[in-house]
Structure formats: C-alpha cells, structure tokens
Chain A
Amino acid sequence: MSDEPDHSRLSHSPGSDELLRLAVESATDFAIFSMDPDGLVTGWNVGAERLLGYEEEEIVGRDGDVIFTPEDRAAGVPDAERAEALAQGRAEDERWHMRKDGSRFWGSGLLMPLAERRVGFIKVLRDRTERYVAQKRLRESEERFRVLATNIPQLVFRSRATGERSWGSPQWVDFTGLSSEESLGFGWLEAIHRDDRAATLAAWRAAEATGDYRVEHRIRRSADDDYRWHQTRAKPPDGGQGTATEWVGTSTDIHEMRSLQDRQKVLLAELQHRTRNLLAIIQSMARQMLRTSRSLQDFETEFESRLRALSRVQSLLAHDDYPAIDLRALVETELAAQGGSGDDPGKVRLEGPPVALPAPSAQALALALHELVINAVKHGALGQTGSRLAVSWRVEGHTGERRRVVLDWREDGVTMPSHLEQERPGYGRELIERALPYQLAAETRLDFSPEGVRCSIAVPLEDRRAKHAWVGI
C-alpha cells in the first residue's frame, strides 16, 4: 500500500484520527465513507450526505451498496468492486449511482481497502455527471464526424494551409492505395496525375490568401490504375482566422460530369458544323438552280419544294445524338409530303425490312427520293389514274463494308410524256446519277421505260463505328 498512502496511513496513525476527521469533513465536494468488510457503512461525511441524500445517522450500520443502481447490484458489481480493491489495492468506480430519492448521477471515484483489510474499505466519490454528459456528447459528436468523414463518397483529408496533410480518410487510402503514413506531408501528391501536380500546389499557394482551396485534378484509382477527375476543395474550420488551424477538405469524383461536358462541347461543335454545312448546301442548290431555271417563277417553285424536302429530313435527323433514320420512314415522309397515294390506297406499295440509314446517307437519299416523287406527281404514277408505284428495298451482303441496301423504284401503267426523254438533264437526274455515287459511293440506275420510271439505288451501309466516328473528334 506504499503507493497509496494518504487515507490509509492517515486513518490509522496514532493521533491522526482528528486530522483525518477534519480533512474528511472539509472535503464537502467529495463523498467519503467507510465500510466494514461486508459493506456495512461505518463512517459517512457531509459530502456523502449532500451527494447521496442519506443522513449519517440513518445510513451507518446499513448496507452501503444502496448507492449502486439496482441493475448493478443484480449484476454483482459491488462484490466485484470489493474483490478488485482487495486484489489490486484499489478499484476504480466510474458508473451511474443512485441517491436516496432514486435520482441518478455519474459517480467517479475509487474504493480502497483500509490498511488492515479486515477493517474494511473506504470509498471516495464525486459527482461528475456534467463532465460525463459533456464528454459523452463530445464522443458522440466525434463519432458522428468519424462516421460522416469515413462514409461519404468523397475522399476526406485534414491538411495544413501549406497543403501538408495530417490525415486522410479510409476512402482516400482505399481509392489511392497510399497508406495513411505514405500520404502524410506531401506524400499524397504521389496519387495526383503528374501533369496536374503543379496546378494542385499552385492552388494551395492561392488558398493561403483566399482561405478557400479548390482545384480539379486527376487522382489515381489503385484498383485499375485509372486516373479519375476529382474536384478537391478545402477550408479552414474557423474561416481562416489564424494560420495554425488545420484545414478540412474533400475530393469529389467529377469524372462523369467532365466527360459529359466534353461530350456536350463536341456535340455543340457538330451542331455548328451541320448547320453551316446545311446553309452551304442550300447556297449551292440555289446557285445551281439560278444557272438552270428558265424563269424566276420556275426557280421559286422548285427551290421552295427542295427546301421543304431538306427541312423534312432535318426534322427526322434532329431526334437523336446519333441519328439513324429508318428507310421506310424516309420514303413515307417524302410520299406523304406530296399527297401520297391520294384517293387510291392500292396505288403505292412499300416493301422492305427495317434499315437504319446513317444521317449523311439519309439526307442525300431524301433529296433524291424527293426528285423521284415530284417527277411521279408531275409526269408519272402519282399523277395518273390506273398507274402504280412500287418501292421495295433489301439488304445485300453481310456485316462490314460490303453491306448495302438496294432500293428499287418502279412505276407501272404510266403514259409517258413524249418530251421527257428529250428534256435536258434535270436536277433530279443529276442528284441520282452523279450526287449519290459521289457522296455515298452509291450505284444508281435511272431509266425512263415506256411503262414508267425505273430507278435502282444501292447505298453502302457503313459499319456502326465508321458511322459514329464523325461525331467524336
């Protein structure tokens, strides 16, 4: 007992009883009481009266275990405490206790055997309820922070205002494969893409002045050695007052967002390109018709009709990022624009499988179909009774470059106007016989048979990768 001399020595040194009594009585903030080996109270100070609510007279000779909660008594805590005190020389007493009126307080103290063990024990106890509750709150708050910092999808860190790190969350360790120790100081830079390190450090220099760190950089994902774009932000908790404070920061994965932004930029450029290209096509169309039109009246009618055909195919193209247009929809749209079969539902027959046309092919083909339809309305099957139009198509070849769609346009029962063969090569004829082969590497054939117009157009169907390549830069 040499290391715990105070109470035991004092209490049993001759002549010191009075001193002890005075000391014990003056310690009114402490409950100090003694018990015999069986736990019956033998002494009880004023502090004990205040804290526990029992008067000395009513408690002396009674079981001191009444200050334990019923749960602890049922669990044998008082006996265990005494056994520990005997074995170790002392037993910490940190638990909820109960006053005479049944109210509870958090008691903190210890139980010690008196020098002569058979004499019993002395217990010193004080009310630490406030501190206990405050600490409990702090622990809970710290736990909440820990749970938050270690469970949000962001990588969390603490850092000095210079960028030297003192802590990285488990997510950081998991993501980068760098251990907590390896990440300390500037070790974390190892996980930043080499090309982004200068900007990353420059942002720290700027942050010292602004109190706000932010940078976008690539962080290596150890799982696949892939660099993912992150936005990293940090702030000092007190808003930048004082330089010694630790900053708290997070890195958020913005890879998908950046990819979408890049893609948007590309799509915008393509939209720009398509729009200007379309204007150029209209410009060329107008200029060529100016060269060949017999009159301004002719020009107006034909130009407007072709402009509308272009407009129709644009609205088909506008529906998707990667537009692919069904051939049947294209044919139906052009026919419908000119009144289709009119009153005779059996006049026009369409037949063919679904075929997805790449956008550039669709536009050129639509203009050619427009010319065929216009001609059929003016001179052919769509303008005469008793005549018929069959448009059929099929896909030839297998996948790859040799795959193509072959469309046959066949008018029957038409009374062909005699002047048609002698007409100068028209715009429609040029589109079919020259533009389609030039632009789509198509093979075409246009005949004015005595029965009506026959036209065959074979267009290669590019494979999907080639078709889409023009959107990606």
Chain B
Amino acid sequence: MPGSGSEALRGRRALIVEDEYLIAFDLARTLEDLGVGVVGPARSVADALALIATEAKIDAAVLDINLGGEKAYPIADALLTRRVPFVFVTGYDSWIIPAAYAGAPRCEKPVDVRVLARLLFNER
C-alpha cells in the first residue's frame, strides 16, 4: 500500500508493542507503507518501557494486552504519564480490561490497519 498514506500520518512515529513476531512486523511494515515511522516493535513490558524512556518522539502507541504472560498495563501507565495516546489491540473482550483503561480505544484482532491508523492519529 505504498503511497496510500495520508499527509496526516507522514512523519508520525508509532510504538508497536506485540509479542507475536508475524503480527508485529506485518503491522510495522503496513504502518510504514502508510508513512508512519515505527518505534520497536517491542515484545515485552520491559522492552517497551525502555523505548518509552529513551525515544524522543512517540506520537502514539499500539498495545497488545497479553505479552507472553505479562499484561501491558504498566506500559499504558507510562504512556498516560507521557501523554501519548494509545490503542489496545487484543483478542480479549472488553470486560477483561481494567476500568482504569476503559477509556482507551480498542481494536479487535485481526485488525484493520486503516481503522487502527485513524484511531491512532486522527481522533485528537
């Protein structure tokens, strides 16, 4: 889909947190095709927190909730502190997400990347 990215996405940088390689790198390539710069992908809470602490520019983040047994909520907390908007990408139903994050947008797997990109960058 090269060239299909809108101007709104160009130059934006998105952190991808996803433990499944195939999904993570497919999402990275698809976002890059839309003109988005990718931070990561990160496969664990620790990796993601390290990127959040060191990357100067993160405009938005995509969070898989279940990271090989860990829950992604500490990452969500760090992003909230940095005022970085994020979208949960998950196979879980919404009832399993703690109330503290109920306001965050959520995309169900399998994801429509264009919908995801809109949620990430256009809703603010």
Contact = CB atoms under 8 A, between A and B. Distances in A.
B69 A467 contact: yes
Interface stretch (B48-56, B74-82, B85-93): B85-93
Contacts of A274: 91
A287 interface: yes
A434 B26 CA distance: 13
B24 A272 contact: no
Contacts of A288: 22, 25-26, 29
B12 interface: no
Interface in B13-43: 19-27, 29-30, 41, 43
B21 A360 contact: no
**Size bin of chain B's contact surface:** 20 to 34
Given A285-B22, A287-B30, A435-B22, A277 B43 contact: no
B93 A280 contact: no
A293 to B, nearest CB: 15
A218 B2 CA distance: 60
B19 A439 contact: yes
A469 interface: yes
B110 A269 contact: no
B111 interface: yes
A438 interface: yes
A273 interface: yes
A273 B26 contact: no
A262 to B, nearest CB: 13
B96 interface: yes
B59 to A, nearest CB: 23
Contact of A280 (B30, B92, B109): B109
B22 A284 contact: yes
B42 to A, nearest CB: 10
Given A287-B30, A439-B19, A280 B68 contact: no
Contact of B43 (A275, A285, A287, A438): A438
Interface string A255-292: 00000000000000100111111011111110110010
Contact of B96 (A281, A364, A435, A473): A473
A466 interface: yes
Contact of B110 (A276, A438, A469): A276
Contacts of B21: 364, 431, 434-436, 438-439
Interface SS of chain A: helix
A208 to B, nearest CB: 34
A399 to B, nearest CB: 18
Contacts of B96: 269, 473
A443 B43 CA distance: 16
Given A283-B110, A438-B43, A272 B30 contact: no
Nearest to B108: A276
Nearest to A436: B21
A280 B111 contact: yes
Contact of A281 (B23, B41, B43, B90): B23
Contacts of B19: 439
Contacts of B27: 284
A276 B30 CA distance: 19
Contacts of A276: 90-91, 108-110
B90 to A, nearest CB: 7
A275 B26 contact: no
Contacts of B91: 272-277, 280
Contact of A470 (B29, B43, B68, B108): B68
- Which of A274, A280, A288, A438: most chain B CB closer than 10 A? A280
Contact of A360 (B22, B24, B68, B92): B68
Contact of B26 (A287, A360, A470, A473): A287
- Which of A360, A431, A439: most chain B CB closer than 10 A? A439
A435 B69 CA distance: 18
Interface in A230-276: 269, 272-276
Given A273-B91, A274-B91, A287-B30, A280 B20 contact: yes
Nearest to B30: A287
Contacts of A283: 23, 26, 110-111
Contacts of A282: 110
Contacts of B25: 284, 288, 434
A360 B70 CA distance: 13
- Which of A276, A467, A470: most chain B CB closer than 10 A? A276
Nearest to A438: B21
Given A281-B20, A282-B110, A462-B69, 14 more contacts: A272-B92, A274-B91, A277-B23, A277-B109, A283-B23, A284-B26, A284-B27, A288-B29, A431-B21, A434-B21, A438-B41, A438-B43, A439-B43, A467-B69
17 contacts: A269-B93, A272-B92, A272-B93, A277-B23, A280-B91, A281-B22, A283-B110, A283-B111, A284-B20, A285-B22, A288-B29, A291-B29, A360-B68, A436-B21, A469-B70, A470-B68, A470-B69
Complex A-B, nearest 5 residue pairs according to Cβ-Cβ distance, in ascending order: A276-B91, A284-B26, A470-B69, A435-B21, A273-B91
